[in-house]
Structures are given as C-alpha cells and as structure tokens.
Chains A and B, each alone.
Chain A
Amino acid sequence: NAGVTQTPKFQVLKTGQSMTLQCAQDMNHEYMSWYRQDPGMGLRLIHYSVGAGITDQGEVPNGYNVSRSTTEDFPLRLLSAAPSQTSVYFCASSYSGQSTGELFFGEGSRLTVL
C-alpha cells in the first residue's frame, strides 16, 4: 500500500517554463488537495477536489491549474513558472463522508524557479 505518491521530488525550472507535479493515491479517497509550504507561512491550500471531475480553488490558486479525471490522480500544473512559485508542494488525500478530517500526505516536491 503506497499511500500518496508524488513525483518528481525535486525540480528546477526557469522562469516561464511549465511543468506538472503528479500525485496518485491508492486508498480510494474521494478528497484530494494540493498545498504549498513556505517558510514562516505554514502550508497553504492551492486547489482541492472532492471527487473525479470536481475541483475548486483554495487560498492561493493563481498560476496553478488542476484537473481530476480519475479518483486516483490529481496533477498540479504550473502554467508559466515564476520565482514566487519556488516552494515545497504537498499533495494530500482524505476519506469522504463522516470523517475526522485527517489528511494523508505525499512526501513533498521541492520546486525551484530561477
């Protein structure tokens, strides 16, 4: 049971380049989300999904795009990378229904934009 798997774990981009952070979970969780972690700011929600075909914006969605075609996968796309998007990105999933809200996290992806 792999849990939540993120790839790549490290990436360096140049300003203006695009890329996709992949996220997959094998726990059959309906809810998936992307967070970014910056020093002194904790983790902030970028986008989230409550099921296949349903996504919504979080606190800091600008510059990012998501889609959810399957229950298992929730990729995060950077359309035109900017230095302000240098961060550590976490994908997370959680059980739907009557739940306690606990998130299961991937190992994180460190992105540097030059």
Chain B
Amino acid sequence: AQTVTQSQPEMSVQEAETVTLSCTYDTSESNYYLFWYKQPPSRQMILVIRQEAYKQQNATENRFSVNFQKAAKSFSLKISDSQLGDTAMYFCAFTTSAGGTSYGKLTFGQGTILTVHP
C-alpha cells in the first residue's frame, strides 16, 4: 500500500518570504503522479501543482515549485514571495498510473497548515 507523510503539521511565514513544505511517500510502483492541493478556509480543494514521476524536471507554476527527489521518495513544495492568500491547509497526494490511468484514487498526506503573516 502506498503512504504519504507530511511531517510538518503547521508552518508559518512572513509575507514576501519563501517557505518549503515537506512530503515523503512510499511506493513500489514506477509510474505515478504527485500533487499538491491547497484547501483555504472556504474548504474548496484547489490543485496547486502536479508532477509526473517519469519527468526528471521539477514542475513549476508561477510562485510554486517542487523539489522532486525520486530516489529519496521526497516531494517538497516551495512557495516564493508568499502572499496572505496562500494561507491554507496544503495536502500532498499520490496516485499510481497503471495503464495510464489512476481511476480517481488518490492517497493523501495528513496536511500542513500554512499561515502567512503580514
């Protein structure tokens, strides 16, 4: 069974600074996808960034980037120039892609509450 671990229950950062959220996972699969989802106080789940395991290049979406270390099974999220709107719970998630599809089954980490201070 796959597991996803987020070891930081809470993090805080000053506005405009950079913060890194940690995530490790365990799997014997070779083809998989990794995600970071953001859940603001509104409770809506929002996809932040996605990484395909077969790609060596780290994914980047504007101020959000990941450090994907496949051998170490590590998938951290870096948020640059933090903004007050980044305050949210962040979930790391994993899915296998056997045959190219995940069947909608994701395994989530416990979540990290990020607070951005003005």
A interface with B by C-beta (< 8 Å)? 31-33, 35, 40-45, 48-50, 58, 88, 90, 92-94, 96-103, 105, 107-108
Contact B101 A98 (CB under 8 A): yes
Which residue from B42, B44, B97, B104 sits with its C-beta under 8 Å from A33? B104
Which residue from A45, A96, A99, A108 sits with its C-beta under 8 Å from B106? A45
Contact B45 A105 (CB under 8 A): yes
Complex CA gap A50/B52 in Å reads: 22
Q: How far is the CB of A114 from chain B (nearest CB, A)?
A: 21
Contact A48 B103 (CB under 8 A): yes
Chain B, residue nearest A29 (CB):
B104
* Residues of A close to B108: CB separation below 8 A: 35, 42-44
Given A41-B110, A42-B111, A100 contacting B104 (CB threshold 8 A): no
Given A101-B33, A101-B95, A102-B35, A31 contacting B110 (CB threshold 8 A): no
Interface of B is mostly: loop
Contact B104 A48 (CB under 8 A): yes
B interface with A by C-beta (< 8 Å)? 4, 6, 9, 33, 35, 42-45, 47, 50, 52, 91, 93, 95, 97, 100-111
* Residues of A close to B44: CB separation below 8 A: 105, 107-108
* Residues of B close to A33: CB separation below 8 A: 104-105
Given A45-B106, A48-B105, A50-B103, A101 contacting B35 (CB threshold 8 A): yes
Complex CA gap A94/B102 in Å reads: 9
* Residues of B close to A93: CB separation below 8 A: 104
Contact A58 B105 (CB under 8 A): yes
Contact A42 B33 (CB under 8 A): no
Given A43-B91, A102-B50, A108 contacting B104 (CB threshold 8 A): no
